[in-house]
Structure 1
Amino acid sequence: MDLSTSIAQSHQIPKSPVKMLHILLLFSFLLSSSPAAAKDFCVADFKATQGLAGYQCKVPEEVVVDDFVYSGLNVAGNFSDISKSTINTSFVDQFPGLNGLGLSMARLDLSLGGVIPMHSHPGSSEVLLVTQGSIIAGFISSNNIVYTKTLKKGDIMVFPKGLLHFQVNSGPVPALLWSSFNSSNPGLQVLSNALFSNNLPSELIEKVTFLDELEVKRLKALFGGSG
């Protein structure tokens, strides 16, 4: 073997990297040509039937810029006489452009002494940002360990998916909070409402909560429940 042949062979690209390059190019082509990759968004069609997978997509010809804009969080919602607070949500049910994007927001206003009662989001984790006032916030893990912290303006706290959590206004001024979720429909279940604002029989509530009859009746009356 002469010197030129030896040098040429030493500079040849090995076969395995070439095959790998071909595979990567093919994979890239398949991704770019797939229906999922070709669809930029799936604006919720509120007029269509909603299934277990969520809303169907609007036809592209009916999509408008307002589908991607929501102004409902520019004011506080209606305050509750019980909790002295309000939660104003921007979930997919109000904001069609969120459909399929895996994100949403909410505005929380707490007046003096206000509280966001114990609740959970079955479909999402949450990041909370305090922009006014100070609060005590916390959550309870599945093994009943409590994590609480006093948060001030600019502080954020994360609440893992599905865990019970709460916020209490601990300052001398109203508090304003903003929540971000990694789901377009995180869901919301308030513990006190689940127990006392429906027709769950009082006898069952007494058994599962160990509360006495008078206290259950008082709470049922407070939250508008029956039974």
Structure 2
Amino acid sequence: MTFSLVARCHRTGMFGMVISSSSPAVAARCAHARAGVGAVASQNVTDPRLGPCALDLMEQGATAEEAVAILRRTGGFMDWRQVLAVDARGGTAIHSGGKALGLWAEARGEGAAAGGNLLSHEDVPRAMLDAFHAAEGHLGDRLLAALEAGRDAGGEAGPVHSAGLLLVHEQPWPLAELRIDWTEDDPIAAVAAAWAVYRPQMGAYVQRALDPSAAPSYGVPGDP
């Protein structure tokens, strides 16, 4: 029911992920990232506890491979789960349980991993990974290029209704967390449109949190 990609930017150390599904609010359950630590997608028959657990393990020093191996041994009903992880060194790991829904597939590369279930075609994750590595610019731009490539390669076997982009960098809160929780139209295009609006303002929102006196104006009525 889902296709996603997790990644680390080798230039900035930023982490992020993109995800889309026929299910509602997929990013609310499946997208997890922590600045300086990693990013994790916990999907298929989703257990949202797996994402924070994997991030805790990586924060304690485990690699993505080690964290996913621990989850595979200790997590509940792991045959039903699909977990993708990337760590602070750019290492990646994927667990796809034998009971993952429909056609499932995965692809791994330096600093990024893609996977999905109930896919229309087994090449969807590879198309996402290739698009991510071929794209340039901000990590958010590259992640959205990957998500769009997954959609264009066939994506899920049925129509998708939700999508999300999550970015973390330096601060304990998300740099960007953009979600479309339900639409009958194209949720991936809607997230891309939201990113086009949010990206130019993104740094200002961080600055306002850290030091409002040095932040740009708010651009609202009454703001001097």
Q: TM-score, structure 2 length as denominator?
A: 0.24
Higher relative contact order (CA 8 A, sep 6+): 2
More helix by share: 2
Q: Which has the larger radius of gyration?
A: 1
